[in-house]
């Protein structure tokens, strides 16, 4: 088991890829905290984990609210005594619509920045004191291959996912002396409910993506779990500041 007894906070773990990270981490022996704005979904995932004999805690969290982020850290320490891993997975993705940038409102832009960038920043600020105290920790920020491709018509979203990589690299240099690592994963277009129901996508997008992917199929949420476990585990103990692109060989950078 690669994550035996590690305590991992997964934001946005109530559905989609975050849920798969949570289930996958537990299979590797971790205890997971699901910090999620949709408490019903978070509780459902936690129940699923407990039914399989694992340990999980669901906490209603809006990552864009600094106090919520601190509450998650405090409750995690109170329940499990430590924080080994933070996966900054929460983002405004479900319900997004592809549209020309002129139609993106200031409100939408600010909301994307608040959750996808500031949310990760708040969560990192909240867990760092404990990770410093432990002199160990692994932070995994979820980016996206959209900014590597330059995907059009999702400008606010794509910009946030590039920002996540800037935050990863600069932070790696700041926090490395505490033996805390920070890396990023960029998933390709993954067949979650959010992707499948996105409005404004060109017809045949999934099929086109599969054709352009070296492995000739669409990415599934489970395809991302191994990379995330690796970055969370001690197997990646000398890796920090890196972006791991997990997209079946669509983008090669």
Q: Per rule CB under 6 A, is residue 12 in the interface with ligand NAD?
A: yes
Cα angle, residue 168 at apex, residues 163 and 171 outer, rounded to 5°:
120
List beta partners, residue 26: none
Over the window 232 to 251, marking each residue x when it contacts ligand NAD by CB under 6 A and - when it does not, the resulting string is: --------------------
Of 205, 231, 185, nearest to 91 (Cα)? 185
Least distance from ligand NAD to the Cβ atom of residue 217, Å: 14
Among 195, 209, 236, 240, binds ligand NAD (CB under 6 A): 195
- In eight-state DSSP terms, residue 33 is E
Cα distances (angstroms) measured from residue 171 to each of 128, 176, 199, 251:
11, 8, 34, 25
Least distance from ligand NAD to the Cβ atom of residue 225, Å: 12
**Which residue among 21, 93, 94, 157 is the active-site one?**
157
Q: Per rule CB under 6 A, is residue 190 in the interface with ligand NAD?
A: yes
Query: What does the DSSP assignment read for 170-230?
Result: HHHHHHGGGTEEEEEEEE-SB-SHHHHT-BTPPTTHHHHHHHHSTTSS-B-GGGGHHHHHH
Q: Looking at beta carbons only, is 71 or 179 nearer to ligand NAD?
A: 71
Least distance from ligand NAD to the Cβ atom of residue 189, Å: 5
Residue 180 phi, psi (nearest 5): -105, 125
Q: Looking at beta carbons only, is 53 or 150 nearer to ligand NAD?
A: 150
Among 192, 236, 240, 245, binds ligand NAD (CB under 6 A): 192
153 is catalytic: no
The residues that touch ligand NAD, with contacts defined as CB under 6 A, are 11-12, 14-18, 36-38, 41, 61-64, 89-94, 115, 119, 142, 144, 187, 189-190, 192, 194-195
């Amino acid at each position: 088991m690669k994550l035996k007894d590690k305590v991992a906070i997964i934001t946005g773990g109530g559905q989609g890829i975050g849920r798969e990270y949570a289930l996958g981490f537990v299979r590797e022996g971790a205890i997971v905290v699901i910090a999620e704005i949709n408490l019903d979904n978070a509780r459902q995932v936690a129940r699923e984990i407990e039914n399989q004999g694992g340990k999980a805690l669901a906490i209603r969290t809006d990552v864009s609210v600094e106090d919520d982020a601190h509450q998650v850290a405090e409750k995690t320490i109170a329940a499990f005594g430590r924080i080994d891993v933070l996966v900054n997975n929460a983002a405004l993705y479900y319900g997004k619509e592809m549209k020309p940038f002129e139609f993106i409102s200031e409100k939408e832009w600010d909301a994307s920045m608040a959750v996808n960038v500031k949310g990760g920043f708040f969560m990192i600020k909240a867990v760092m004191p404990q990770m410093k105290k432990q002199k160990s920790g692994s932070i995994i920020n979820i980016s996206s291959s959209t900014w590597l491709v330059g995907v059009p018509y999702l400008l606010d979203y794509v910009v946030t996912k590039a920002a996540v990589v800037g935050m990863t690299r600069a932070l790696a240099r700041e926090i490395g002396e505490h033996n805390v690592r920070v890396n990023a994963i960029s998933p390709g277009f993954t067949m979650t409910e959010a992707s499948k129901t996105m409005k404004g996508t060109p017809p045949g997008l999934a099929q086109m993506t599969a054709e352009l992917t070296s492995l000739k199929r669409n990415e599934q949420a489970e395809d991302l779990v191994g990379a995330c476990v690796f970055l969370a585990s001690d197997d990646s103990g000398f890796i920090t500041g890196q972006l791991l692109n997990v997209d079946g060989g669509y983008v090669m950078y």
